Structure 1
Amino acid sequence: MSAQIGVTGLAVMGANLARNLARNGYTVALHNRSIEKTDTLLLKHGDDGEFIRTETLQELVDSLEKPRRVLIMVKAGKPVDSVIDQLAPLLEPGDIVIDGGNSHYEDTRRREAALSRQDLHFVGVGVSGGEEGALLGPSIMPGGSRESYDSLGPMLEKISAKYNGEPCCRWIGTDGAGHFVKMVHNGIEYADMQVIGEAFDLLRLGAGIEPADQAKIFTDWNSGTLSSFLIEITAEVLGHIDERTGRPFVDVVVDAAGQKGTGRWTVVSALELGSPTSGIAESVFARALSSQKEQRVLAQDILHGHEGSVDLPETFVEDVRLALYASKLVSYAQGIDMLTAAAKEYGWELKLDEIASLWRAGCIIRAELLDDIMKAYAEADTRPANLLLAPAFAEAIAGAVPAWRRVVATAVQLGIPVPVFSASLAYYDGLRRKRLPAALTQGLRDLFGAHTYNRVDTEGTFHTLWGEDKSEIEAVDTH
């Protein structure tokens, strides 16, 4: 019996993807560095479908039909390179190596280039949906060659999540495009979770609404424009009571948020691309600050906020909802702007409407508003330069702005940190302003470093002789 795909790396995600493939009618060859994990999977879930047990990579390769498809599900970084180094010599031209982990897209580009020189296909696949999604149907974002997708794509589409019958899996683009899109997805996810946390903080510390009552509020919000997986599970977490203490679950959890690096990668990549992802960046920094527990404990006795009392309007809960919606839109806008910048930088033909369609089911940031995002980018002649400029979103966010400003102002007065609410509002205001203080920045740069500037009234590049008579000269391009 030949297998249609092999999976090496049978931790939870790898095991669940292998089971998903088997459940969908594919024969799956299994391999793990420690054979115990292979045997455990077969013992517990061997009746999910057809599996082939292998003990070595050579056995794995020998069990596969051609062209061979091998899915690597090991920790990102050096472990992936190690498996590739062992696997590649065993393969033949036309075989496909797939990395389904959270690898950095630059690593994927490097690996794809190296394996293509051996006439092997390398596919970096972004997989979102966590352990449950891997088993029941994740959102899948594959990169690599178009030729490799012709062989691999139908299989991935079959095991992916479905939205109204459509698979949440499409070919994204060449080399590292799939992992790049997954990275941006995770950046949006960071911002989305942080701004939900800020809304929770405002409702509790500002309005005195306890978690159980907030659970009802978030459940109500999930039936409207905020409808999304993260809002849904926020209600579940806030309504959960700790069995040991009888207290709200959120009150017994240490307030230090972990991270695995994809949010940080998003911000670093955005800086390199010159793409302003301020809301996403603030969400990453907020996690970092939360983890500086020792400094925070010291600061509680030393730093004082001098917070004032604030008369909250009767509309405060609704104001927070609107501010949350507007900030959520900004995180998507910043992520999509980053995708646009990356497409130009790396020569990818990213189809933004299709990418939005992949996020409608299976993944963590699935939300009702993705249908409208798809529509905004569906037609080439009406695609907005920025998501916030799409008529539907421009109108929605304009209606939310007064509430957004009230919420940020109230948070400042109460000393409640709202980094993503405020950074997102600043991004919106910066985007719409006719003039920004960058003109002064350019003047300062020219004075201390002769970095030159442009004028609003004539073409050309200029420099002022600041240390002499302050006359202006036209700068000579030395590049």
Structure 2
Amino acid sequence: MDASAQIGVTGLAVMGRNLARNFARNGYTVALHNRTAARTRALVEEFGREGSFVPCESAEEFVAALERPRRLMIMVKAGDATDAVIDEFAPLLEPGDMIIDGGNAHFADTRRREKALRERGIHFVGTGVSGGEEGALHGPSIMPGGSTESYTVLGPMLEKISAHVEGEPCCTHIGTDGAGHFVKMVHNGIEYADMQLIAEAYHLLRDVADYTPAEIAEIFRRWNKGRLNSYLIEITAEVLAHTDPATDAPFVDIVRDAAEQKGTGRWTVQTALDLGSPVTAIAQATFARVASSRSELRAAYRPLPGGTAQELHRHEAERFTEQVEQALYASKVIAYDQGWTMIRDGAAEYGWDIDLGEVAKIWRGGCIIRAAFLDRIRAAHAANRDLVSLLAEDRFAAEVADAQVPWREVVAIAAHRGIPVPAFSASLAFYDTLRSQHLPAALIQGLRDFFGAHTYHRTDRDGSYHTHWAESGRPESRTDI
């Protein structure tokens, strides 16, 4: 077989199929392979007119169809399936060839695989791909990791098939080994927080302001014309406006209120704990999904008393709607800031040189959390690569300061009404934690020293100290000399 394909895709489920079509639509010859050959044949029969495809039935035939250096993209289920595909193809490759993993792999697995293949001279490129099946076909946000050398060869192809905003590709080299999959994981964690915040805003508008789903859809459409403009706000309006054709009921009223998850939010929280990165809004959003699915626990709690109910007049409902918009925006800023902080923490831990402004740039299009204010996040980090927080940037700080009163009132009203707003509350608590001059952590350190001799640091002099609590007079001794 002639080695005529610039790239090959193995694993032709929805994402793999659409990425293969995207490459072909952009003028590349694409080798196709799937564990079941029938799926390969079906793709060519249905979409062969879109470009140049080379269907292959065996691994050897697939590799032989690829130009050197070979670019082989695997789109299979994360975990053991990915390792099995690597084990199948790696022996057929040569030094300088590359394997691109476009699945939702855990970044630690990507680091392990990259190291093992690097020792064999093969480039392993862990690549985050965001945008779902439509993004994969029409232009996703792409987050490749791996070596600089591999990006020199592969990058132009990925940039060409990615989404473009103002002529710029939503693709950049994130960093070495697992950096691409790490950043994709954090993207999904932010996505969890964003969706939970939107859901809480909907809950408040429905149960406090007494708006119908159709009326709330119009509110979200109005919000989408302003600073909250984003893909998730846009599709929220579509979902809320949808009526179930079988019952004529609002769609949201016929869907069971138990949120599911694929695991990337959980990975984000677990990794954040390992890094000591306080992603509290993302964590609460993840736990909210878990809690919504615990039917037995919910049944046990349901008979218990909740908050008070009070009808709002129309002008009061309109004012409350404005307050919810302020609370939603401020909470989103906090959630995104937590995500950027975690990326910075991960980069420091694993030795990655990640440009945070470039991350914002490639998330402006194609991905699920694309939003208008990412342009401002990009600009803030471009102006100051050492920016510690979005709230250290004047405009974001002013907007969150302006939201103070309505943000607090919304959280207080939710508490009075017995309406759960874990992500709103966590965002506000995080804000108050970091802006507080004094925290009760001093007491925690005292307790730790009392029962475990864990020591503490004083405010008036350097060093670590321990108080001998059981001794008369409780003398103090320095422990670091």
> What's the TM-score once normalised by structure 1's chain length?
0.98
Among 348, 367, 375, the residue aligned to 2:352: 348
SS at structure 2 position matched to 1:154: helix
C-alpha separation in 2, matches of 1:218 and 1:446 = 51
For the pair 1:24 / 2:26, whether they are aligned, the reply is yes
Once the two structures are superposed, residues 224-275 of structure 1 have per-residue CA deviations (whole angstroms, 9 ceiling, x without a partner) of 0000000000000000011000010000001111100000000000000000
C-alpha separation in 2, matches of 1:29 and 1:295 = 50
CA contact under 8 A between 2:7 and 2:30: conserved in structure 1? yes
SS at structure 2 position matched to 1:197: helix
Counterpart in the other structure of 2:341 = 337
Once the two structures are superposed, residues 133-188 of structure 1 have per-residue CA deviations (whole angstroms, 9 ceiling, x without a partner) of 00000000000000000000000000000001100000000000000000000000
Structure 1 residues 272-311: aligned runs within 5 Å = 272-301=274-303, 303-307=304-308, 309=310
Counterpart in the other structure of 1:458 = 461
Among 60, 66, 69, the residue aligned to 1:67: 69
Counterpart in the other structure of 1:148 = 150
Aligned residues with identical type, % of pairs: 61
CA contact under 8 A between 1:442 and 1:452: conserved in structure 2? yes
Counterpart in the other structure of 2:425 = 422
Deviation at 1:299, TM superposition (A): 2.4
| Paired letter, 1:305 | G
Counterpart in the other structure of 2:332 = 328
Deviation at 1:305, TM superposition (A): 1.5
Structure 1 residues 371-390: aligned runs within 5 Å = 371-380=375-384, 383-390=386-393
Structure 1 residues 40-439: aligned runs within 5 Å = 40-301=42-303, 303-307=304-308, 309=310, 313=316, 314-380=318-384, 383-439=386-442
| Paired letter, 2:308 | E
| Paired letter, 1:463 | H
C-alpha separation in 2, matches of 1:330 and 1:164 = 27
C-alpha separation in 1, matches of 2:154 and 2:139 = 16
C-alpha separation in 2, matches of 1:452 and 1:308 = 48
Q: Greater shift after overlay, 460-469 or 123-132?
A: 460-469
CA contact under 8 A between 2:272 and 2:278: conserved in structure 1? yes
C-alpha separation in 2, matches of 1:133 and 1:7 = 17
| Paired letter, 1:341 | D
Deviation at 1:390, TM superposition (A): 1.3
C-alpha separation in 1, matches of 2:450 and 2:312 = 47
Q: Greater shift after overlay, 429-438 or 292-301?
A: 292-301
Pair 326,63 (structure 1): closer, same or farther in 2 beyond 3 Å: same
C-alpha separation in 2, matches of 1:164 and 1:379 = 19
SS at structure 2 position matched to 1:315: helix
Deviation at 1:205, TM superposition (A): 0.5
Structure 1 residue runs without a partner (length 5+): none
Once the two structures are superposed, residues 205-233 of structure 1 have per-residue CA deviations (whole angstroms, 9 ceiling, x without a partner) of 01100000011100000000000000000
Deviation at 1:306, TM superposition (A): 4.5
C-alpha separation in 2, matches of 1:319 and 1:89 = 60
For the pair 1:449 / 2:479, whether they are aligned, the reply is no
C-alpha separation in 2, matches of 1:456 and 1:298 = 47
CA contact under 8 A between 1:61 and 1:91: conserved in structure 2? yes
C-alpha separation in 2, matches of 1:310 and 1:110 = 57
C-alpha separation in 2, matches of 1:27 and 1:336 = 37
C-alpha separation in 2, matches of 1:344 and 1:286 = 30
Deviation at 1:401, TM superposition (A): 1.2
CA contact under 8 A between 1:309 and 1:413: conserved in structure 2? no
Deviation at 1:298, TM superposition (A): 3.4
C-alpha separation in 2, matches of 1:370 and 1:300 = 40
Structure 2 residue runs without a partner (length 5+): none
Among 467, 470, 475, the residue aligned to 1:467: 470
Deviation at 1:326, TM superposition (A): 0.5
C-alpha separation in 2, matches of 1:117 and 1:377 = 36
Deviation at 1:310, TM superposition (A): 7.2
> What's the TM-score once normalised by structure 2's chain length?
0.97
SS at structure 2 position matched to 1:26: coil
C-alpha separation in 2, matches of 1:384 and 1:89 = 45
Deviation at 1:297, TM superposition (A): 2.5
Aligned residues: 475
Pair 310,384 (structure 1): closer, same or farther in 2 beyond 3 Å: farther
Q: Which runs of 4+ in 1 moved over 6 A?
A: none
Deviation at 1:386, TM superposition (A): 1.3
CA contact under 8 A between 1:187 and 1:262: conserved in structure 2? yes
CA contact under 8 A between 1:71 and 1:98: conserved in structure 2? yes
C-alpha separation in 2, matches of 1:387 and 1:322 = 17
Pair 327,416 (structure 1): closer, same or farther in 2 beyond 3 Å: same
Deviation at 1:311, TM superposition (A): 5.8
Deviation at 1:475, TM superposition (A): 1.0
Once the two structures are superposed, residues 316-371 of structure 1 have per-residue CA deviations (whole angstroms, 9 ceiling, x without a partner) of 00000000001111110000000111111001011000000010000000000001
C-alpha separation in 2, matches of 1:81 and 1:125 = 15
